[in-house]
Structure 1
């Protein structure tokens, strides 16, 4: 397992970072989370807010204590749980197992109020399984909105092939979560879920829509893949049980990585004040992607 180190270019590598848009604080990145095994400890973004200060992330809610704001989470890396909570076991269902891994912050290659580049180590049973390069950047969209450009690259750090799975690949239909994930606040009424062509959780979940949105009475989140490969991953969406959106690295089959192999993804999330309609959500995402999208 690699030792933690502080880069010469960093003066605050082991402190939380505050992200700002237009001079206003819109997010805090926590590098040293509480070490509770059941949570699969990992760095995360929380609280994240709109430009007006409305909270749009949730931390450790009673319904899912292992949901930690915004981050990268995978429920099955060679049988190790980097998601937190219970593990889906074929024939037994969700089961409490002593199989939790931890994501260790190693260093910031760069950091500031506009974003960061971070190195992490994914460790389970004292062995490093993955190395990660994580990036985040704030994209300004005016007085009422901003966007988070969030990317990650996971590299197999072992000498053998390994695979990434999900409850869906292990036999639980509709539960292909794993990768980028954002937990939003639960309110009295479930948020509206929509894309340019579909409406409702059932129609959007599992789709590969170019973008999707969650809209509450006071905020709207719009999500899109920023690279062609990211846009091939189906969306994981929850609204009725709890509000959350993520990507599906392992939707129908396990994602296999050769020794030294890397999987990369990059997503953009627009964070807007107010309840946006379809045209407004599409227009804001188009503006956000205009500055960050890859071919």
Structure 2
């Protein structure tokens, strides 16, 4: 693919509608991202807001939700499996004492209100407040969340591509439980290379066996647990046989950055930020934790040049997002 073409920003008109349960973002009237903020999932799946479907500007879906193998996977969502004694990921919980077990500890992230939805030249930003509660309804975390949908410059777009956009995501978590919380993962509880928990994406079935890429090169499952400022995944769609790319970019101001990535190509395609992969992070009252990311949704595959250019454009968008 060409990598020397001048960067172009697609000029599609972005808009958003609210049906009382979900926000739907459109580009020139075509849906590209739906954010369900009032889910109806069972408690076992740790109900929480999520993005699904996510669709490229060219019209290809790049998420699935409630797959039969892990029904608690929800497109793209902020999800944490080991929050003290609570599970905000869904499904069974892994601990040293029990390994995987159903512990009746599946909490919920409940939408309180949108504190603002703003249109700007850069894109559309929503600010949201949420309360995290334990399975029995007790308060655990108060979260202030923001996310923005923005079109990106994409100088490497080829004939099969329709360009790229990014979802900028920011979470600030405050401990309201009355006791210190240590946030970890199955790996911090002793399960090797299972450090999932963070902003997590589940890709279509046809993406299984796709390719990861970061600034050092390309590969598959060997990217599990690696650290890099950005990481991209390219997969192929059934029927259309086109490719699409999803890339994660971490804000350098995040605690511990660059943090590890949870990256899997075999079994099924998934990718997620994993700031609690190998070590627990304390969340103390009055000492909130803030994490920021950009998730790029791009038509077409990427070579090293285009991947780096998309990551740079997303990093610039994060830097300009006050």
* TM-score normalised by structure 1 residue count: 0.90
RMSD of equivalent CA atoms: 2.1
Match of 1:80 among 76, 86, 95: 86
CA distance in 1, matches of 2:20, 2:112: 9
Q: SS at 1:187's partner residue?
A: helix
After superposition, the C-alpha distances for 1:85-113 in whole angstroms (9 at most, x for unaligned) are: 11113254322221100110000011267
Alignment of 1:69-218 (within 5 A): 69-90=75-96, 92-111=98-117, 114-124=124-134, 125-141=136-152, 143-187=162-206, 189-217=208-236, 218=243
Aligned in 2, Cα 1:280/1:137: closer, same or farther, shift over 3 Å?
Answer: same
Aligned in 2, Cα 1:200/1:255: closer, same or farther, shift over 3 Å?
Answer: same
CA contact (8 A) 2:217 2:304 kept: no
Q: Hey, what does 1:232 align to over in structure 2?
A: 258
CA contact (8 A) 1:17 1:112 kept: no
Match of 1:273 among 291, 299, 308: 299
Q: Hey, what does 2:40 align to over in structure 1?
A: 34
Q: Hey, what does 1:263 align to over in structure 2?
A: 289
CA contact (8 A) 2:46 2:72 kept: yes
Unaligned runs of 5+ in 2: 1-16, 154-161, 237-242
Alignment of 1:39-54 (within 5 A): 39-54=45-60
Aligned in 2, Cα 1:178/1:188: closer, same or farther, shift over 3 Å?
Answer: closer
CA distance in 2, matches of 1:188, 1:132: 32
* TM-score normalised by structure 2 residue count: 0.83
After superposition, the C-alpha distances for 1:7-46 in whole angstroms (9 at most, x for unaligned) are: xxxx959431012345532101101112302110111111
CA distance in 2, matches of 1:20, 1:290: 23
Post-superposition offset of 1:202: 3.6
Greater shift in the superposed pair: 246-255 or 95-104:
246-255
After superposition, the C-alpha distances for 1:31-78 in whole angstroms (9 at most, x for unaligned) are: 111230211011111111000111011100112111001111010111
Unaligned runs of 5+ in 1: 1-10
After superposition, the C-alpha distances for 1:126-174 in whole angstroms (9 at most, x for unaligned) are: 2111011111111212651111111111111123211112101111011
Aligned in 2, Cα 1:35/1:24: closer, same or farther, shift over 3 Å?
Answer: closer
Q: Hey, what does 1:219 align to over in structure 2?
A: 244
CA contact (8 A) 1:201 1:239 kept: yes
CA distance in 2, matches of 1:257, 1:91: 22
Alignment of 1:277-288 (within 5 A): 277-288=303-314
Greater shift in the superposed pair: 152-161 or 111-120:
111-120
CA distance in 1, matches of 2:179, 2:37: 29
Q: How many residues align?
A: 285
Aligned in 2, Cα 1:269/1:188: closer, same or farther, shift over 3 Å?
Answer: closer
Q: Hey, what does 2:8 align to over in structure 1?
A: none
